[in-house]
Amino acid sequence: MEKKDNTSIVKKQPVRQERWYFGGLAGVLAACCTHPLDTLKVQLQTQQRADYGLVSMAVKVIRDDGFLALYNGLSASCLRQATYTTTRFAIYGAIKSMKSDSNLSFIEKIALAAGSGAIGAFVGAPADLVNVRMQNDCKLPKEKRRNYKHAIDGVLRISREEGPKRLFNGASMAVIRGAFVTVGQIAFYEQAKQVLLASGYFKDDIITHFSSSFLAGAGATLLTMPLDVMKTRLMNAPPGTYNSIFDCFKDIVKVGPSGLFKGFIPAFIRLGPHTILMFVFLEQLKKHFGYIKSEKQ
């Protein structure tokens, strides 16, 4: 009599893919959580002298303008994520899916992330400009404040009062920064996750997602800090202040190279949690609402 093989066959669960808009949605959710830190980062970067630190700046903003001032520009931040982050994730995902196995080398990930981030940053430049201005408005004298009602109002007023071209003021720096931060976030995240899963000690769960996104956030901060300072300064400067990116660079380093890393701690504190939350939200969206590759999108 033959011995019956009782070995159970485990059916491999199909891997769900993210839909094109999941990246932008995850970015919006993360931005809602980390916006106060982003506001403080902008305020620290636009001060000419290092008069305030993170905590003292927070106290000053709350004392002068109230707690809700920390959420100045939230609508613009959400609009930026809806344009910039949606575009970069959608392009990255679309090109990656063209490969039959969707596996890319690390160099391919970097190249694709850089290109996707640059395009996304250009698309999101108007919202980024409004975001920086709204966050910095409370630092200006009351008679000089722009007082945009919301992001769309800011875009329309800039276009009407300063001309449509002004919406892309600082876009060149934003494009470069967008390429670097996307390399730090998407390429580093995917590579870190791949290495952790291949080690055999990690599963495709929230611990792996957290660990990978923490590493990605640290990498993105290191790559983008100097560019972020210059981008913020260019976007917030009155017309004619700087003739080029190099003029802005010279002005910042007058106080020394440390000027390029002004607000480094709040930038890391903000970009780290934002990156972690964005990818955790993205993985959860993919897990619960993603599609199986054989399905029609």
> How confident is the model over 154-159, as a mean pLDDT?
94
For range 85-112, the mean pLDDT: 92
Tell me the percentage of the chain whose pLDDT exceeds 90. 49
Average pLDDT over residues 165-193: 93
d(CA 85, CA 81) in angstroms, rounded, equals 5
Beta bridge partners of 291: 17
CA separation for the pair 260, 87 (Å, rounded): 28
The neighbour count for residue 257, using CB atoms within 10 Å, is 9
* 272 has a pLDDT exceeding 70: yes
Residue in this structure with the two tokens 């070995």, named with its chain if needed: 7
pLDDT of residue 155: 95
293 neighbors 17 (Cβ within 8 angstroms): yes
Phi/psi class of residue 3: alpha, beta or left (left: φ > 0; alpha: ψ in -120 to 50)?
A: beta
Tell me the pLDDT band of 296, cut-offs 50, 70 and 90: very low
pLDDT, residue 224, reads 86
List, in sequence order, every beta strand (DSSP E) within the chain: 16-17, 291-292
* pTM for the predicted model, two decimal places: 0.80
pLDDT at 3 over 80: no
Q: Worst-scoring range by mean pLDDT, 17-21, 23-27, 151-155, 244-248?
A: 244-248
Q: pLDDT tens, 15-70?
A: 788 899 999 999 999 999 998 888 887 778 777 676 788 888 899 889 988 898 88
